[in-house]
Amino acid sequence: MTGPSYHALLAVDIESYGRRTELVQGAVRGTMYACVQQAAGESGLPWDDCVALDRGDSIILLVPPSVAPTVLLDPFVARLDRVLRGHRVLSSGTAAVRLRVAVHAGFISPDERGWMGTAINSTCRMLDAQLLRDVLAASTRADVALIVSDNFYQAMVIQGHVQLDATTFHPVRVRQKETDLRAWVHVPGYPRPDGLPADEDGEPAATTAADAATAADAATGAAPANGGGPRIGGHAKVGGGIAGGDIHVSFGGGLR
């Protein structure tokens, strides 16, 4: 097996794919590929130089090191949102396509069946996180919801390599199967998208000073001032991964 190489990873997934008939699923798969490929071409992301892994209702794009990873955020995300919006205007409700998008980077390795690596696993876990599903469902003015790994965000957004406002990215925690990682959510056109957890760990925000004091007492073990029990929300749950156990993907090839 060839040794690992460093790649940027872009994954997209169709919202509510499984609720549609197989006839419609075939149509929206075609739309997903056409829109992603169009946005990639407009963004300077050379589709033919990438490896596209087909996952049915999603694509994992392995981007070669020769491509500047900045284009995966800027301008690709905004271009994809615009292309999808244009398609939605001309489509019926059942054929409209909205996409969750995950961006990460890391070492991956090829084998006789395709590609493997923790970076692919983490990308898929982020893409399938329930919190990202909730954000896209609630942010009805947009057709894309983006989640970016913390290392990619720190290297590209915080360092100013993309022309995106860092304040429009919001921290979240993805806890799913073996994955526990910090990530950042961004939705085009939203300073703060709808549907986000109240804080990074998914805890409900304290709505009054008394609520805040109760939460602080619970954290320190002190008796609540109001005599009641502590009120602390549980961690947000995230959905299962794209594939059970370790994710192993096969070559999907380019568009045909």
Q: How far is Cα 154 from Cα 158, in angstroms, rounded to an integer?
A: 5
- Could you read off the pLDDT of 182-199 as tens digits, one per residue? 999 999 999 999 999 887
Domains of the chain (ranges; CATH) run 5-201+236-250 (3.30.70.1230)
Burial class (CB in 10 A: 0-12, 13-18, 19+), 171: middle
- Could you read off the pLDDT of 16-44 as tens digits, one per residue? 999 999 999 999 999 999 999 999 999 99
Residues 161-165 have a mean pLDDT of 96
Say what the pTM is.
Answer: 0.78
pLDDT attached to residue 1: 57
Instruction: State the pairing for strand pair 249-250/99-111.
Output: unpaired
The answer to whether residues 106 and 124 touch, using CB atoms and an 8 Å cutoff, is no
